[in-house]
Amino acid sequence: MKIDYEGFDFSTSLAGASFPSPIFTASGCASSGKELAQFFDLSDIGAVVTKSVMNKPRHGRPTPRMAETPSGMLNSIGLQGPGIDHFLANDVPWLLSKGSRVIVSIAGETIDEYSVLARKIRPVQGISAIEVNISCPNVENRGMVFACQTDTAARAIDGVRKIIGGEIPIIAKLTPDVTDITSIASSVVDAGADALALINTVLGMVINLDTMRPHLGGKTGGLSGPAIRPVAVRAIYQVHNAMPHVPILGMGGVTSGRDALELILAGASGISVGTASFGDPTAIPRIQRELHTHLVARGFTTLRDAVGYAHRAVEEGAQ
């Protein structure tokens, strides 16, 4: 069932890739799409951002892998997945056959792995964009996360850019766990990222009071959900302010249309919904409807007019 937005222009673009709606799944929160297809039509939303895939199949971390926290949750999955070959042979064709726009998220343990993944993705037809998840531990450098330093972040993106050229938009996904996110953002844009995904989960930990030990099998985990939304709004606002022409795919605790609008006003051109789908399998189409209502209620006639609106001076902003 196609949604009629009554003349409102809900479309968005990220570095040349066009989408009929700005609401996407979030990487790692929709598996490869089949699971949510029981609850809504995947072609009705902006895009499916697939779970970050690595070169080889991977078991991930031991259980327990999750802990609910106030207005959020910690996860420690460890990038469990089928590997890129199986993924490209099975999951991407299935999503495209359903009329879904597909953004493929990739993750590597070495700079070379990112290049290898890019080389396998490049010839595949129909992929809207590549999200490069650089919030992974770099096994070549004491497990330091690529996205925590300007040089390693840039090298990972450069490795993808050299293979992809300008053929598919490259979205660099950054961690908020850094002192200055704008310097990381600027380094990956210089290295060839066309757009930025902000934010990945925030590193956290829970200690189990029965065992008096770390609760998660992987000890630390990524915090997501409404608890981190203000961190996302801040990161998006700072980066949009520093680089207003670089499109941002915003995410972090979006649970309602009102939350999505907040990230859009901060500077996001698209919104990924992740943890909200865990608690509500129909969260994505609901957020899409609610966002439309909020935009119309504020007098906007296109989504694009709302992007980064919070940066305008107050007198300039009067509609």
Partner 1 sequence: MNTINKSAAQITATILSSKRVGAYHQILLSIGDLASVCRPGNFVAIAVGGESSKMILRRAFAISRITHGSASGGAMELIVAPHGSGSRWLCAQPEGSDIDIVAPLGKAFGIPTSPVNALLVGGGYGSAPLFGLAEVLKTRGCRVDMLLGASTGSKIYAPLEGKRSASTLKIYTEDGSMGERGRVTAPISSLIEQGSIDVIYSCGPMSMLRAISDLTNGTDVVHQCAVEESMACGIGICMTCVLPVKDEDGTVAMLRSCIDGPVMDASTVAWDLVGKTPPVVNL
Tell me which residues are annotated as active site: 136
Q: How far is the CB of 174 from partner 1 (least distance, A)?
A: 22
Which one of 11, 43, 44, 77 is in contact with partner 1 (CB under 8 A)? 77
Task: Tell which residue, 105, 117, 92, has the closest CA to residue 42.
Answer: 92
Which one of 169, 225, 257, 308 is in contact with partner 1 (CB under 8 A)? 225
Q: How far is the CB of 189 from partner 1 (least distance, A)?
A: 31
Compute how many residues bind partner 1; rule: CB under 8 A.
44
Task: Tell which residue, 85, 126, 110, 210, has the closest CA to residue 160.
Answer: 110
User: Segment 194-223, which members bind partner 1 (CB under 8 A)?
Assistant: 217
Distances (CA, A) of 207 to 101, 210, 214, 221: 40, 9, 4, 11
Q: Is 226 in the site for partner 1 (CB under 8 A)?
A: yes
Task: Tell which residue, 54, 225, 25, has the closest CA to residue 133.
Answer: 54
Complex with partner 1: residue 37 or 296, whichever CB lies closer: 37
Q: How far is the CB of 161 from partner 1 (least distance, A)?
A: 29
Q: How far is the CB of 309 from partner 1 (least distance, A)?
A: 27
Q: Which stretch binds partner 1 (CB under 8 A): 110-118, 167-175, 264-272, 280-288?
A: 280-288
Please state, in angstroms and rounded to a whole number, the distance separating the CA atoms of residues 167 and 188: 17
Please state, in angstroms and rounded to a whole number, the distance separating the CA atoms of residues 136 and 153: 10
Single-letter amino acid code for the residue at 230? P
Q: Which residues pair with 119 in a beta bridge?
A: none
Q: What is the contact mask toward partner 1 in residues 257 to 276, using x (rule: CB under 8 A)?
A: ------------------xx
Q: Is 190 in the site for partner 1 (CB under 8 A)?
A: no
Secondary structure class of 6 (helix, strand, coil):
coil
Q: Is 28 in the site for partner 1 (CB under 8 A)?
A: yes
Tokens of 26: 């979030």
8 Å CB contact between 171 and 131: yes
Q: What is the contact mask toward partner 1 in residues 108 to 147, using x (rule: CB under 8 A)?
A: ----------------------------------------
Single-letter amino acid code for the residue at 25? T
Tokens of 294: 């909020």
8 Å CB contact between 150 and 124: no
Q: Is 89 in the site for partner 1 (CB under 8 A)?
A: no
H or E stretch covering 12:
strand 12-14
Task: Tell which residue, 100, 69, 104, 83, has the closest CA to residue 216.
Answer: 69
Nearest-10 Cα torsion for 70, 78, 143, 181? -50
Complex with partner 1: residue 211 or 319, whichever CB lies closer: 211
Q: How far is the CB of 214 from partner 1 (least distance, A)?
A: 13
Which one of 15, 23, 36, 148 is in contact with partner 1 (CB under 8 A)? 36
Which one of 50, 128, 186, 255 is in contact with partner 1 (CB under 8 A)? 255
Which one of 1, 4, 7, 70 is in contact with partner 1 (CB under 8 A)? 70
Secondary structure class of 77 (helix, strand, coil):
coil
Q: Is 80 in the site for partner 1 (CB under 8 A)?
A: yes
Where along the sequence are the contacts to partner 1 (CB under 8 A)? 28-31, 34-39, 51, 56-66, 68, 70-73, 75, 77-78, 80, 83, 217, 225-226, 255, 275-282
